[in-house]
Amino acid sequence: MKTPLAFAASALALLAAAPASAAMTAKQIVEKEVIVRAANGDETIKRLPADKVAPGETVVYSIKYQNDSAEAASDIVLVMPVPKEVAYVEGSVSGDDANVTFSADGGKTYVARGRLTVVEGGAARPARGDEITHIRWTLQGPVPPKADGEVSYKGILR
């Protein structure tokens, strides 16, 4: 049974640019991965709009950003929540020149993936992919004027 991807609209992209004059825009894109088989049997993975997704399908969440200003933009931070209907796919995060951190507490705190823990039965343990609530990319350098980029992660619809 296909499920409308209504929760995708709730995903959030936050931008923080240091210079007030720098104009940054960001657009979230939600796609699903499908395997396309050619007549010769070769398989390729293609991304399609995620209008409807079935449990078990891979969903790709991306933020495409652009510096619309004539000045470099620095101190850029991008944040995307992981919908509770989605389990983060380990190792799937991408983003050039970005420090990536994760949250398992609704975005209150962020740490490197290997340090992310949750408390269960009074003891801390490593957080599973399905316990990640937010992913944050802190761009390491300024975004040049009129330049753009993209960050993303993959999840599996539960």
Is 111 inside any structural domain? no
In 6-116, DSSP assigns E strands to 24-37, 43-49, 52-53, 58-67, 77-81, 86-88, 94-95, 98-103
Task: Please give the residue range of the domain that contains residue 8.
Answer: 3-97+136-157
Q: Is the pLDDT of residue 152 over 90?
A: yes
What pLDDT, on a 0 to 100 scale, did the predictor assign at position 15? 52
pLDDT at 34: 87
Pairing of strands 94-95, 148-157: antiparallel
pTM metric for this prediction:
0.84
- pLDDT cut 70: percent of the chain above it: 86
Residue 4 has pLDDT above 70, yes or no: no
Residue 113 is assigned to a structural domain of this protein: no
The pLDDT assigned to 3 comes to 40
Average pLDDT of every residue of the chain:
88
The answer to whether residue 151 is domain-embedded is yes
Q: Is residue 109 part of a domain?
A: no
* Among 16-20, 71-75, 143-147, the least confident range: 16-20
Residue 119 lies in a domain: no
Report the domain count for the chain: 1
Report percent pLDDT > 90 for the chain: 81
Per residue in 104-145, pLDDT (tens digit) is 999 999 999 999 999 999 999 999 999 999 999 999 999 999
pLDDT, tens digit, 9 for 90 and up, residues 21-39: 568 999 999 999 888 999 9
Task: Compute how many other C-beta atoms are within 10 angstroms of the C-beta atom of residue 142.
Answer: 18
Radius of gyration of the chain (CA): 17
**Domain contains 104:** no
For 49, 91, 94, the CA distances from 146, given in Å and listed in that order, are 26, 30, 21
**32 or 20, which is more confident?**
32
